[in-house]
Amino acid sequence: MEQIWAPWRMEYIRSEKSGECVFCTLPREERDEENFILYRGADFFIIMNIYPYNTGHLMVAPYRHVGCITRLDEKQRAEKSRLTHRTVEILRNCLNPEGFNIGINLGKAGGAGYEDHVHEHIVPRWTGDTNFMPVLADVKIHPEHLRSTYDRLRPHFKDA
């Protein structure tokens, strides 16, 4: 069995949490560039993960504070699906990943960092993107700064 280690995530795990839901507070601030929000739809928005597993790790989240996909109505499910598909297309064209991890962590036991606000992760992957650095040196190397990735992706989300 192959094991994948992600020790760089400890920065997030150990960081102090304000108790506020970032998926509720950040869109209300209307500071999209500062908060790495790439797109605003009718019921969902697309935001960069500031503790990414990889360059281009994005999330599709509803504005409404809802903890499970079963509480989304048909219109919301359709928008989430459309935005996920569009995000994959944009990431494929801009970053040329060899694959993707796409998923939703439901509940604390399911790995949800924000268990009361459902969100879908879209993580671009490249062969060898987990190498000896995070495994041996407890360091994750991101080849591009978050701001540079945001600036590169943002124009493609204007008409998502």
Residues labelled catalytic: 119
| CA–CA gap between residue 97 and residue 56 (Å, rounded) | 10
| CA–CA gap between residue 159 and residue 144 (Å, rounded) | 24
| CA–CA gap between residue 109 and residue 59 (Å, rounded) | 20
Radius of gyration of the chain (CA): 16
**Closest among 150, 130, 139 to 49, alpha carbons compared:** 150
Provide the 8-state DSSP code for 46: E
